[in-house]
Structure 1
Amino acid sequence: MRPSLYEYAGGEAAFLALARAHHERCVADPMLNHPFSKEDMNPLHVERLAGYWAEVLGGPPRFSEQLSDHSSMLRMHAGNGPGMLELGPRFVECFVAAADDVGLPDDPAFRAALRAYMEWAVADVNEFFEPDATVPAGFRMPRWDWDGLVTSGRD
């Protein structure tokens, strides 16, 4: 039986390193810099992001048990306008490059699953880009594995 993507990546430490590297790349990117360099950004953003990704990709349910649910994450990113649609591909590229930066396994199936997840996640967030977007309550954490989306959390 295959390990989860979380386990294959290297667990909690790997996701924390990935979230740090991704955040650094986003801050350094001229187009992504603005949303990632806000003064009011939560100082635990990187740790929360790591926990979120870890849970979605097969890790323990720490994010949903200790912090929030998928609806709350979507609400944080909702209403940012159509300009956010342009940033999605850059966000994905920073994620893929961050996986290289931290030395995640370069197995093609693993990397394809990571990219596919992030492309799906960006599209999921962008469903609520309209300034007056309302995110329904109660979306559970999505789940993603080697074969793709297991549950969107909306079912």
Structure 2
Amino acid sequence: MPDPVIVPESPTLFDWAGGHEALVKLLTIFYGHVLEDPLLEPVFRGMDPDHPKHVAVWLGEVFGGPAEYSASHGGHAHMVGRHLGRGITEEQRRRWVTLLLDAADEAGLPDDPEFRASFAGYLEWGSRLAVIFSAPGAEPDPHEPVPRWDWAKPPWQPPSA
């Protein structure tokens, strides 16, 4: 009988991306571009200088890292509350996604197809929820947990010897 093939466990998206410091770098680059963008700058004008770090903590938790956003930043209810009443347009949403994908390249995040498919999938899903939550009269459930995002398809890794 042949030896069973042992498939290595997939790392979290958080670990694959490079952890907290990689996400801080990504979001620092991204929000620098946002503040120069005529379509998005009005949405983010006057943001807290620590905003990129807070979003890095959010994204870290979403991608399987420490549950620090839930523990220290108010969890899902706080993130949803940051979008209420903002009236984010589809054009702004699409620009936000494009700039964040470009920032991922600039920050040197992994560019393998599996990671980028998972990353882009979350950006599409999350940004579309932000549009819904920012619409007049939106009433999202404040008791939902921070979402957990995983691989669309686990990363290819060479078989272990």
Report percent identity of matched pairs. Answer: 36
C-alpha displacement at 1:120, in angstroms? 0.3
C-alpha displacement at 1:56, in angstroms? 0.2
- Report the Cα distance in structure 2 between the residues aligned to 1:74 and 1:110, rounded to whole angstroms: 25
Q: Given residue 127 of structure 2, which amino acid in structure 1 is its aligned partner? A: V
> Within the alignment, does 1:22 sit opposite 2:30 as a pair?
yes
C-alpha displacement at 1:108, in angstroms? 1.0
Measured against aligned partners, the alpha-carbon deviations of 1:4-27 in whole angstroms (never above 9, x if no partner) come to: 110001101101101101111211
- Report the Cα distance in structure 1 between the residues aligned to 2:70 and 2:27, rounded to whole angstroms: 17
C-alpha displacement at 1:50, in angstroms? 0.5
* Structure 1 segments (4+ residues) deviating >6 Å: none
What residue ranges of structure 2 are gaps of 5+ in the alignment? 1-8, 154-161
C-alpha root-mean-square deviation of aligned residues, in Å?
Answer: 1.4
Give the aligned partner of residue 15 of structure 2. Answer: 7
C-alpha displacement at 1:122, in angstroms? 0.5
What residue ranges of structure 1 are gaps of 5+ in the alignment? 149-155
| Structure whose CA Rg is larger | 2
Conserved in 1, the CA contact under 8 Å of 2:62 and 2:147? Answer: yes
- Report the Cα distance in structure 1 between the residues aligned to 2:148 and 2:12, rounded to whole angstroms: 11
Instruction: Report how many aligned residue pairs link the two structures.
Output: 145
Conserved in 2, the CA contact under 8 Å of 1:11 and 1:54? Answer: yes
More strand by share: 1
- Report the Cα distance in structure 2 between the residues aligned to 1:50 and 1:130, rounded to whole angstroms: 24
- Report the Cα distance in structure 2 between the residues aligned to 1:78 and 1:8, rounded to whole angstroms: 32
Measured against aligned partners, the alpha-carbon deviations of 1:37-70 in whole angstroms (never above 9, x if no partner) come to: 22xx223211100000011011111111111111
TM-score where L is the length of structure 1:
0.87
